[in-house]
Structure 1
Amino acid sequence: MGVEVAVISSDAAIITVCGELDADTGLALQHQLAGQVVHGRRHLVLDLAGVPFMDSSGLRVIVRTVNDMRNVDGTVSLAAPTQVVRRVLDLTGVGMSCRIFDTADAACEALLGRKSEVPIRTVCDTANR
């Protein structure tokens, strides 16, 4: 799994995830997300376009992050989930807890009220696999 972070404002970041999100990789993502909160990020966009598979462990990371962000008056938006991931999100009702957008650009625009000034990368960092 690869994770790339792009800070789009002092309190917001896009976290691009690539690879399977499961029991083997979920903890690494959880640490990345927790680190963003420590650095003052209160609004996170999780770009899931590069996630071909997600099991209950990955879902647990997302739900935990949504709850953690609520505790700091923050938000989590999900962007561009693949068809398989979107099905898991729909079946579990996660979309009722956070907004789901078709693209990371749309999520950033909704969050910032304008187009993101940080280019959204579609290439995944595979060094962390």
Structure 2
Amino acid sequence: MPAEQAPVSIDATLYGEGIALVTVAGELDVETAPELHDRLADQVRGGRRHLLLDLSAVPFMDSSGINALLKAHDTAGRAGGGVCLVSPAPAVQRVLDLTGVSLAIASVGDVDAALVRIGEGTARH
């Protein structure tokens, strides 16, 4: 019997030179976090050193999801960039706050605020 597809959607869009907007929809858990990790690592390998992660459609995240975010933060940081979380759902923001991840990875309300945070202003490319 074939395994079911992981119930997560990950779409990456170039949002300027060296910037990727990665939109995640679905739960980030032990089943889906490895895919997110791989996709984010691919973005950095492809020259995107700033990763903007839209988590507004992620209703649940466990420690595996946190681990994927922290690994991306480390990888992007080593490339001279970083990770900024965009509009995390309230339950996800609570997990980020309770675990201290929000001290290492900034969360902002929208893409424009994320661009300002990484020093790109509101210019759209």
TM score, norm. by length of structure 1:
0.85
Q: Does 1:37 align with 2:19?
A: no
Equivalent AA in structure 2 for residue 12 of structure 1: I
- In the superposition, relative to structure 1, how do residues 54 and 28 fare at CA in structure 2: closer, same or farther (>3 Å)? same
CA drift of 1:111 comes to 2.5
Alpha carbons of 1:74 and 1:57: their partners in 2 closer, same or farther (altered >3 Å)? same
Q: Is contact 1:109–1:116 with CA below 8 Å preserved after alignment?
A: no
Partner residue, 2:83: 76
Deviates more, 1:102-111 or 1:88-97: 102-111
What one-letter code is carried by the residue in structure 2 that aligns with 1:59?
Answer: I
The correspondence of residues 13-52 of structure 1 with structure 2, limited to 5 A, is: 13-52=20-59
In the alignment, structure 1 residue 95 sits paired with structure 2 residue 102: yes
Using the TM superposition, give the Cα deviation of residue 97 of structure 1 relative to its aligned residue in structure 2, in angstroms: 1.0
The code of the aligned residue for 2:32 comes to T
Residue in structure 2 matched with residue 60 of structure 1 by the alignment: 67
Is residue 54–residue 86 contact of structure 2 (8 Å, CA) maintained in 1?
Answer: yes
Aligned position for 1:107 = 114
**1:84 positional shift:** 0.5
Pick closer, same or farther for the CA change 1:116–1:84 going to 2, 3 Å.
farther
SS of alignment partner, residue 15 of structure 2: strand
Q: Could you give the per-residue CA deviations for residues 16-72 of structure 1, whole angstroms, max 9, x where no partner exists?
A: 000000011001111110110111011111110010000110011001111111212
Provide the aligned C-alpha RMSD in A: 1.4
Deviation at 1:74, TM superposition (A): 1.3
**AA of the residue aligned to 1:70:** G
- Structure 1 or 2, whichever has the larger Rg, is 2
Instruction: Provide the residue aligned with 1:122 in structure 2.
Output: none
**Runs ≥4 residues deviating over 6 A:** none
Q: CA deviation at 1:112?
A: 4.6
